[in-house]
Amino acid sequence: MGIKKTVCAALAASLAIAAAGCGEGGEVSSSVTENKDRVFHNYPVYNGVDFPLELWQKPEYEYCPEYDCSGGGYDIKGVWLRNDYDGQESYAFAYLGTPEGVTDAKKAPAVLLVHGGGGTAYREWVRAWNDRGYVALAIDTEGHIPLPTGTVNDGPAELYEKSEYVTPHNQNYADADKLPVEQTWMYYAVTTAITGNSFLHSLSFVDKQAIGICGISWGGVITSIVTGYDDRFAFSIPIYCTLNNAGTACNMGSYLNNHPNALVWDDDLGLSAVETPILFLAGIDDVNQTADTVTKTAERCKNARISLVKGFLHSHGHAIAQNEPFAFADEIVFGKKTMPVFTDTLEDGETAGELTFTLPQGVAVEKAYLIYTPDVVSQGSADWDFVRLTVGDGKVRYDLAEAGEGTKEFYVYLVADNGMIVSTRIAKA
């Protein structure tokens, strides 16, 4: 269709980016960056799949002003990020949104946004993070360009058009049976996300120690994978889906069960080794991933929390509307605490007991629940029920006797008076 593009120097001028150079990609200034209490590495920290070191360098990028969607107080620009596919020059589309008042002297935190199946780079998502003071880069992982009239609630036909570049498409891991790993869609999606992170690190007005990642559905899987290979994130938030799906009765599980060559993407060895703070946000009635595997992944990580939200519908719109991702990021980046935090772990076989939690100043628990099911969650279609619990003095007591006989799995769920939701892992009775 012939896309008109302006080289990346135009982007630098438009955004007042002080970082010089384009074309070949700038060299990394050092192998590590010191953080307050962490070390970030400019190379892959896990070797389950081999990725080139060049991904951790400043990428080539081009500015496409015809796709800008600024206005109404928002500065959102279209960008092409180079990510070649199968030996052919290719670019991934992205929206870059910058909050008002951000400059080289007044740097802002940033977040990389990764859409799910049937999605693309969402303007609404960028705006939501801009409203909270974050530079936001929403990438497209399937060679699409958002239509100017498309919204987060639209289907593919109304949402995007195909770009002129050659890119793979999501085949639910079926391509793993036919292609080398470097030619599969997941490899392309992961390299696009790493490229997006490197692009954010190259921007002079971004605080390089405060760049996070957030992904929805398939984007949650990508976020989980990328976080295990690239430890430069200040926070990571997979929504709905993550890892450890093989052998479970859900969509993600069936894709892996049918295509075992894709199992290399499902292990959590990299993710469990990094120090990155992670929030796993998911529902409990989701056909795409069983909730027990979300908590299984979380409990294997070094620095993770869980929010299992009952009644959480699966869509980009519902995910973007949830407040926990913003609150978690604000806590990590700004030290602004608004979420309760469990300080005890729910253990298998402990059918009654007491859990402690901490509350930020000025926050109280409004409701607490014991959520339980007579089903084995990993087998899918669990029938959940709940009873209210009593909370006091930073403690919540639970007793499965209140749930009646037959409960197989359960967890505890808190709702703060500011609407924030946190939960324990799912335990076996």
27 vs 243: CA distance, rounded Å: 33
- Enumerate domains of the chain plus CATH numbers: 6-336 (3.40.50.1820), 342-428 (2.60.40)
Entry pTM: 0.92
In Å, the largest CA–CA distance within the chain is 67
127 vs 418: CA distance, rounded Å: 22
DSSP at 340: -
- The predicted pLDDT at position 34 comes to 53
Kindly tell me if the per-residue pLDDT of 423 is higher than 90: yes
Tokens of 135: 């530079």
- The predicted pLDDT at position 7 comes to 31
335 vs 318: CA distance, rounded Å: 26
- The predicted pLDDT at position 404 comes to 81
Indicate the average pLDDT of the chain.
91
Q: What is the pLDDT of residues 215-250, one digit of tens each?
A: 999 999 999 999 999 999 999 999 999 999 999 999
Q: What is the pLDDT of residues 356-388, one digit of tens each?
A: 999 999 999 999 999 999 999 999 889 999 999
- The predicted pLDDT at position 57 comes to 97
| Ranges assigned E (strand) in 175-277 | 206-216, 236-239
Kindly tell me if the per-residue pLDDT of 13 is higher than 70: no
91 vs 329: CA distance, rounded Å: 29
Tokens of 85: 């596919």
Torsion sign (Cα): 196, 97, 274, 350: negative
Per-residue pLDDT, averaged over 115-123, amounts to: 97
